[in-house]
Chains A and B, each alone.
Chain A
Amino acid sequence: MLRFIVRRLLQAVLVMFIVSALLFAWLRSLPGGPVDSLLGERATPASRAALSKQLGMDQPLLVQYWHFLDNMVHGRFGTSTQVQTGADALHIFFQRLPATVELSIVAIVIALATAIPLGYFAAKRHGGLLDTGSVVLSLIGVAVPVFFLAFVLKYVFAIKLGWLPPSGRQSADLDATRVTNFYVLDGLLTREYDASWDAIKHLILPAIALASIPFAVIFRITRASVLEVLHEDYVRTAESKGLTARIIRGRHVLHNAMLPVVTTIGLQVGGLLTGAVLTETVFAYPGLGDALAQAFSQRDYSVLQVLITMAALGYVLVNLLVDIAYAIIDPRIRTR
């Protein structure tokens, strides 16, 4: 098991190295370039040359790449030029991270808590009303664009009905104490429960929008996987032993059916940032997705670089965790 983890970790390092090379190539090939974005189009050739030299852009590409890697490994991503001018790019990342993590956790909890039970019962009553209904629901989930669903939710529940707040992370007039920058957690730690509740209310709509695709995908995989497992000989063996329905469901059906689902969960968690860009923009939710959208449209290279690197790192880490989880639940991988 330890060897397995070490091998996966080494693979993760290799993946990050490749990502850094791609990112470097991509940032360098963006039209405009950092000099233009800093000095504007009417800068003199002399000042351009001076800034190029200062940024090290007059040196050979390989040397530039080496500096790029060296800076990245040491956490030096430079300062933000647009999103939050003058602030350290890595600092912006850490400042925004709790908001997106909080949103992602709620979204994935919503997705899992609905998709897995629904997938199981849909398969169990294959062809029934529940099955047909939830398949249609999941089709809607994958087919409706996230930003559109976000707009509809916002319009109906925040603007028309006024049940939930339309934007932000917390009402500004609350003046809540900050500890970890995870607002729900902060409220619990400081016993300002109204602050927690307010933060939760701000999370519900964006989280539902963000959960729509993971829900649909996880539901479909769970349903297909349970359908397959229900026809396995070992489920018949379990039935022939007279075991209770609960044990058969948990130990014999779901445990086996979860194997493909776990892989899917990993991919979906990794992909949450994509959805977060859209959801956070619609709900003016100050997280990483919102920062990424701004950095993109305003050509803030330092912020783009830190966000993309961290997104890749997050993706790699999540999949590392998935591989470990997979080995834990499937002895055929663990004991090979």
Chain B
Amino acid sequence: MEKIVLPDIKDFHKLEVYLQHGGYTAAKKAFTQSTDDIIDQVKRSGLRGRGGAAFSTGLKWSFMPKTTDKPKYLCVNGDESEPGSFKDRQIFEFNPHQLIEGTIISCYAIGAKVAYIYIRGEYHKWIKLMQKALDDAYAAGYVGDKMKETFGTDFYCDIYIHKGAGAYICGEESALMNSIEGKRGYPRVKPPFPAQNGLWGCPTTINNVETITNVPPIINKGWEWFASIGEPKHPGTILFGVSGHVNKPGVYELPSGTLLTDIIYNYAGGIPGNKKILCVIPGGSSMPPLRGDQIEGVKMDAESLRAAGSAIGTGGIMVMDEDTDLVKVLARIAHFYHHESCGQCTPCREGTGWLEKILKRLVAGKGSVSDLDLLITVANQIEGNTICALGEAAAWPVKFMVERFRDYFEQRVSKEISLPVANKVHSMRHTVIPVEEIKH
């Protein structure tokens, strides 16, 4: 199987290796075509956003105004804070130049002169790796005003890295823009949409890191090629991050539409101790969880997962075996969303706190069956009543987990059972950083 985003090529992160394998030829090709052509190709390729909403990338680009006096901006979203999601960091580490090439092509397509790659603050190491790649690309004339000579075109753009500082909500596109503007990361009310009124009031497009990294191969090999990979309605490969109770957790690049069971049992090596699966969250912690008996035959693409009662999200697959205490897991998820709620909207600010309180009560064995209905009521009152999608992100796991595991939860609240949440502490590989080298 061909890998598009994370090819198995040694030292692919180095500029010279990237160039040996056709690096920056897609950009050269793109600059000989009209911007409408590029947008059209990306639209036809069927590329959909990999950040969670799975929206058509070409369509998103086409919303950018053609004639405007204002500067236009591209933001590349590498905030990657969704629990269970750890794919973008692989791109920063192993394929930064394809991300940079994708960024300059995207800038050209939408007419942006400046792009900001927003990377979460905790990724110090990956920010440094990305910055190194960017410095190399600048020095070699693939980014910045030297692009004019390198590619023989009038177009040039600058790329800057903006380092976050620990806020899940900054992965929401409008919060991300506020963060780049040097403000608190509050999501904005939409409309106006970013394509009309984004960074500093100018037209802006925000795309996920993985989405942008898919652009150069589409330009180079053609949209027909890309559209033929995986599921036709959601084509291409997807980086699936598998975590939790599996033998081989990690990021697997596979065609969209790969069976969820195939990913868990074949690629991720199955469940330790051959235990049964109790629950799978297929797209990062905010997506509706599936029961172990619901995953058979489920394909991993946006449409199939919707039909199965969940969503693709960021492709972060969290697997929980039969010994997992789901009440503790759900309480932990609720704690996360309470912690990360920005506090602008009352239903979310208060509601996430209530969800956490009720769930902690259940964990302590002091809850009652009526609390389960209360959880659903509170979740329903958050969902749809907030500025941004964090409301849904907090409500969905609670609502769907309680609904889909009703018997389990009823049994759990009626008596205190002691289930170990972790089956064992796994010690596999050694850490790569010698203690002596820790920076302080």
Q: Do A and B bind?
A: no
B residues touching A (Cβ–Cβ < 8 Å)? none
A residues touching B (Cβ–Cβ < 8 Å)? none
